[in-house]
Amino acid sequence: MSFNDWGAGRSAELPSKATNYAVELWHEYRIAIILSALLVLGLLRVYLHLTEKRQEPLVFSKIYAPEAKARPVEVAETKDEKSTPATSDEDTVEKKKTQLSNGPRRIKGELAKKTRGGGNSDELRKIQVLIFYSSLMASTDKIVRDFAKALQSPLGVNPEEPQDCPFLAPQTIDLAEADYDEYFISPPKIENTSGGGPVDLFYLFVLPSYNIDSINDSFLEHLRDTHHDFRIDTSPLSSILGYSVFGFGDREGWPTEEEGFCFQAKELDRWMAKLTGRKRAYPLGMGDWKRDGHARLSEWQLGLVDTLQLLEQTGGLGEGVAGSGDAVESDDEGDADDDDDDDGEVVFEEAPTSKVSKSKGSGGLEDLEDLGRIMELSRADGPGQQKAAPIAIDFTTDGKLTEGKVKSRKSPIALVKEMVPKGSPTYNSLTKQGYQIVGSHSGVKICRWTKSSLRGRGSCYKYSFYGINSHQCMETTPSLSCSNKCVFCWRHGTNPVGTTWRWVVDPPKLIFDGVREGHYKKIKMMRGVPGVRAERFAEAMRIRHCALSLVGEPIFYPHINEFLGMLHGERISSFLVCNAQHPDELAALQHVTQLYVSIDASNRESLRRIDRPLHRDFWERFQRCLEILRERRFRQRTVFRLTLVKGFNVEDEAEGYADLVEKGLPCFIEVKGVTYCGTSTSAGAGLTMANVPFYQEVCDFVLALEAALKKRGLVYGIAAEHAHSCCILLASERFRVGGKWHTLIDYERFFELLEERGPDGDFTPEEYMGAETPEWATWGNGGFDPRDQRVDRKGRPIEAA
Ligand SMILES: Cc1cc2nc3c(=O)[nH]c(=O)nc-3n(C[C@H](O)[C@H](O)[C@H](O)COP(=O)(O)O)c2cc1C
Ligand code: SF4
């Protein structure tokens, strides 16, 4: 009987009875049924929510980050556990956890599988460091093996669990056994033996130099041929992550680089820059295998590890290095064949500094909302710290103006502005010139001597005279504003000027942190620049000196003493240059390592013409500053800074300057020929190259000044010179000991004295007088450190005269 037959007899009444019964039931219990269904659904939802394990944001994790690897491993275990019976309680618990977490979020397992497996952008990439080396006499061979092992721990390599580390164990490759085509025509594809994603390569080289035929010659020739081979891309190794070279040499046989010290490492460094599209990740290191070789290698290793860690975290080599996405340096590698590196002038594009830039950049009057913001900004950044008032401070008041003594104005709301608002023409002009603006009125810039010193091409005259390492010197100012408009100023006529401080005052901590960060950022951008020496680069990451002389007037800043305290607290020396227009602030200034006053002319008319001061009583202010300096001469190292501008302040002025020296009795007198900066300001002031004195003219002037001083019975002598920056130093006989000049500074002693006796403490310049001025720096010897290589504007070596 079919189902249809079976139902045929009852078909008329059964369905209608059943339907009626169901309808009745529904009417009677519908509320209970609906509520029960909702309750069950709700409980189910809560259960699922509680048992769900959160999914980590794998797709956004760092491409080499170990955290990103943890999940795929967990998923692999999950798979295994499904097929393996649990053997212990612990396993059972683990298994339950895994099952629970795996249940409702299946998509998690799928995502992780893709990441481990292959082919898409979420893959976990590994970094393989390859260390190439050559070794004729076997010492490098051993060093490299130890070096490779030493790299493992800081890179987190764990041979037991390779899958947990973004780095594979570094491998060493002897160039005598390597197939150059395999590594140096295009990077090889390396298999990830620990399982997982593809492998990216990072090349390191440890290369001794040999002036005889060796494997190095054929290797370097191979690189040269590859670069010149028209069938091959000129940068065929650009897909590697980066490279760095360390050279071993022997200074006993090859004392200087010109004589061949580490010449093959240098050549290799340059060919690799070309072949990789300038992916020099860390500067070329060099060491003398008999003396400092091991120390230099360790230093290089430290910097290298930092770079590799950065690479692992960000996927790039950092700002300023090609391949990092921020190729912002203009150096060309030159041609290793002709040895014509450029002069190393580096052009930096300023990235906006969100941390310290705060203004909308209107440049106009601030509205009430802005005032609130300004009050906030100008507040000191911590409880108990001094607060900086955002109100105008009048520096023209007579009598002593101490910090914090402020004069409120009638309508502060309209007048309190930022000195250099972000986006203003001044801001744009300064950043274009390479300044980094910090807060709203401070700036930092890496000076050309810092770059030059990093490349071993000479330091500024302050190295020769006072022992300042230019590559450890930060040039900055806490006030971009000034009360003069000097004809030779480098400010390109863009800086704010004024006789009073009428801007927002940034707290010293903000400035200190900002300028330091800005300086280090710019140093780091030099990492990939050709010729930068690894040991100097490492030293440069520790600022030891601060030149408060960039542009503007540092003592214009109301919290200059606190700012100096922060420098000294970090054992950073301070050379402060002021313009002799703010006697009250000069009088209130605490200890600096060396205190300068610019003496730009010897008489009122000449000073008015050259400095174009805003103060009407400029000459009186100038005179008062000299008196203060005279009083300070046994407490501070005081310096007169003379900038000679032919046609303005040189001719027949030696006698007038001698009168000023007699009045101020400075410890030192620095005489410098003006540097022509070719700006519209200088041109507008009638300045041309004809106003720049020749070195011989500076020498003649100094001799005339020395004679004029002697005539007055003043005991000064010509102590040192730095011919290539047209600068000569006269010093008081106080700094001649046993017939030898001692113009250098004992910086450590200076900090000790400060700690012992405080920022207003009583101690004399003689107490921190340093060692004897080096012979090469003394008058008549030129002043160029023989350890450096002098180069012309094109970077070509200049023979010592
Ligand atoms: C034959 C020979 C030639 C060398 N030529 C140079 C050279 O031109 N410049 C240099 O700085 N060092 C030179 N050196 C020094 C080596 O670079 C240095 O001793 C190095 O540590 C040797 O490494 P190795 O023991 O692995 O071969 C030379 C050494 C030898 C044995
Ligand atoms: S003292 Fe001046 S010129 Fe010398 S390195 Fe420092 S900032 Fe540069």
pLDDT at 63: 54
* CB distance 542 to 535 below 8 Å: no
Picking from 77, 98, 117, the residue at the C-terminal end of a domain is 117
Residue at which a domain ends, from 18, 34, 51 = 51
Query: Residue 505 pLDDT > 90, yes or no?
Result: yes
* Predicted confidence (pLDDT) at residue 387 exceeds the cutoff of 80: no
**For a pocket test of ligand 1, which of 146, 211, 256, 294 has the largest count of ligand atoms closer than 8 A to its C-beta?**
211
Looking at the chain, the whole-number percentage of residues with pLDDT higher than 70 is: 71
708: CA distance to ligand 2 center in Å?
30
| Cβ atoms of 571 and 542 closer than 8 Å | no
Domain match, 227 and 81 both: no
Based on the fold, state whether residues 681 and 558 are members of the same structural domain. yes
Residue 471 Cα: closest atom of ligand 2: 5
Query: Is 205 inside any structural domain?
Result: yes
Nearest CA to ligand 2 atom 2: 547
Given the cut 0.85, state whether the ipTM is greater than it: yes
Q: What are phi and psi of 274, to 5 degrees?
A: -70, -45
pLDDT at 50: 65
Domains contained in the chain, number: 4
Q: Among all ligands shown, which has an atom nearest to the Cα of 454?
A: 2
- SS3 of 450-492: HHHHHCCCCCCHHHHHHCCCHHHEEEEECCCCECCCCCCCCCC
Which of 8-22, 144-158, 343-357, 458-472 comes out lowest in average pLDDT? 343-357
Query: Could you tell me the CA-to-CA distances from 18 to 15, 23, 27, 327 in Å, in that order?
Result: 5, 9, 14, 83
Provide the 8-state DSSP code for 773.
P
Ligand 1 first shell, C-beta below 6 A: 135-141, 208-212, 248-250, 253-254, 260-263, 289
Same domain, 83 and 41: no
Q: Helix 66-83 vs helix 89-102: angle between axes, to the nearest 10 degrees?
A: 110
Question: Best mutation site among 445, 455, 468, 470 for ligand 2, i.e. most ligand atoms within 8 A of its Cβ?
Answer: 470
Same-domain check for residues 37 and 172: no
Phi and psi of 696, rounded to 5°? -60, -35
Ramachandran area for residue 64 (φ above 0: left; ψ -120 to 50: alpha; else beta): alpha
Ligand 1 centre to CA of 785 (Å) is 26
Does 343 map to a domain?
A: no
Query: From CA 162, how far away is CA 192, in angstroms rounded?
Result: 10
Q: Which atom of ligand 1 is nearest to the CA of 143?
A: 26
529, with CB counted inside 10 A (0-12, 13-18, 19+), is buried
Domain boundary among 117, 139, 168: 117
Beta bridge partners of 644: 673
- For residue 139, the ligand closest to its alpha carbon is 1
Q: For residue 797, is it within any domain? A: no
Bridge partners for 206 per DSSP: 133, 246
Residue whose CB lies within 8 A of the most ligand 2 atoms, among 449, 551, 725, for a mutation test: 449
Q: Cα(81) to centroid of ligand 2, in Å?
A: 66
The residue among 541, 491, 495 whose CA lies nearest residue 516 is: 541
In a domain, 325, yes or no: no
pLDDT digits (tens, 9 = 90+) for 228-279: 877 777 788 999 999 999 999 999 999 998 889 999 999 999 999 999 999 9
d(CA 60, CA 604): 67
| 431 shares its domain with 473 | yes
Q: What is the pTM of this model?
A: 0.61
State in Å: Cα 217 to ligand 1 middle. Answer: 13
Apex 732 CA angle, 726 and 733, nearest 5: 125
Cα-to-centroid distance, 213 and ligand 1 (Å): 12
**Judgement on whether residues 280 and 198 belong to the same structural domain of the protein:** yes
477 DSSP 8-state letter: E
Q: Which CATH number goes with the domain that contains 169?
A: 3.40.50.360
Residue 154 has pLDDT above 90, yes or no: yes
Q: Which of 281, 294, 304 is nearest to 248 (CA)?
A: 294
> Do 460 and 468 contact (CB within 8 A), yes or no?
yes
Taking the centre of ligand 1 as the mean of its atom positions, its distance from the CA of residue 108, in whole angstroms, is: 57
- Ligand 2 atom index nearest CA of 447: 8
Comparing CA positions, the residue from 534, 522, 512 lying closest to residue 451 is: 522
- Predicted pLDDT of residue 663: 96
Q: Residue 273 C-alpha to ligand 1 middle, in angstroms? A: 23
> What pLDDT, on the 0 to 100 scale, is given for residue 112?
34
Closest atom of ligand 1 to CA, residue 133:
26
**Residue 692 token pair:** 């720049």
Residue 791 belongs to what H/E stretch? none
403 phi/psi in degrees, rounded to 5: -60, 140
CA 409 to ligand 2 center in whole angstroms = 38
What is the average pLDDT across 5-9? 39
Question: Can you tell me whether residue 61 is helix, strand or coil?
Answer: coil
Is 357 among the domain residues? no
- Domain carrying residue 32: 3-51
Average pLDDT, the chain: 77
Does 239 lie in the same domain as 98?
no
More confident site: 57 or 22: 22
pLDDT, position 44: 83
| pLDDT of 684 | 56
The confidence score (pLDDT) of residue 416 equals 77
**553: which 2 tokens?**
């007037």
Same domain, yes or no, for 99 and 210? no
How far is residue 449's CA from residue 468's CA, in Å, rounded to a whole number? 11
pLDDT at residue 99, as a whole number = 38
Ligand 1 centroid from CA 134, angstroms: 11
Determine the residue of 453, 465, 473 to mutate for testing ligand 2's pocket, defined as the one with the most ligand atoms within 8 A of the Cβ atom. Answer: 473
Residues 431 and 517 in one domain: yes
Q: Ligand 1, atom 29: nearest CA belongs to which residue? A: 210
pLDDT band at 683 (very low <50, low <70, confident <90, very high): low
Residues 113, 200, single domain; the answer is: no
Q: 627-681 pLDDT, tens per residue?
A: 999 999 999 999 999 999 888 888 778 999 999 999 999 999 999 998 766 554 5
32 and 66 in one domain? no
Measure 137 CA to ligand 1 centroid, in angstroms: 8
Percent of the chain with pLDDT over 90: 46
Confirm whether 289 is domain-assigned.
Answer: yes
Q: Which of 723, 739, 725, 707 is nearest to 781 (CA)?
A: 723
What pLDDT is stored for residue 791 in this prediction? 63
Which of 209, 263, 288 maximizes ligand 1 atoms within 8 Å of its Cβ, making it the mutation to test the pocket? Answer: 209
Residues touching ligand 2 (Cβ under 6 Å) are 447, 449-450, 460, 462, 468, 470, 473, 475, 547
To test the ligand 1 pocket, which listed residue (137, 262, 268) has its Cβ within 8 A of the most ligand atoms? Answer: 137
Neighbour-count burial of 382, counting CB atoms closer than 10 A to its CB (0-12 exposed, 13-18 middle, 19+ buried): exposed
pLDDT at 614: 85
Identify which of 399, 537, 524, 421 has the alpha carbon closest to the alpha carbon of residue 480: 421
Nearest CA to ligand 1 atom 10: 249
Cα(451) to centroid(ligand 1), Å: 30
What pairs with residue 717 in β-bridges? 731
Clarify whether residues 653 and 772 are in a common domain: yes
List phi, psi (to 5°) of 244.
-155, 150
Ligand nearest to C-alpha 264: 1
Band of the pLDDT at 490, cuts 50, 70, 90? low
Q: Hey, is 597 helix, strand or coil?
A: strand
Of 8-22, 737-751, 777-791, give the lowest mean pLDDT range: 8-22
CATH number for position 406 = 3.20.20.70
Q: Is residue 353 part of a domain?
A: no
With respect to residue 411, please indicate whether it lies within any of the assigned structural domains: yes
447 C-alpha to center of ligand 2: Å?
Answer: 6
- Atom of ligand 2 at shortest range from CA of 575: 1
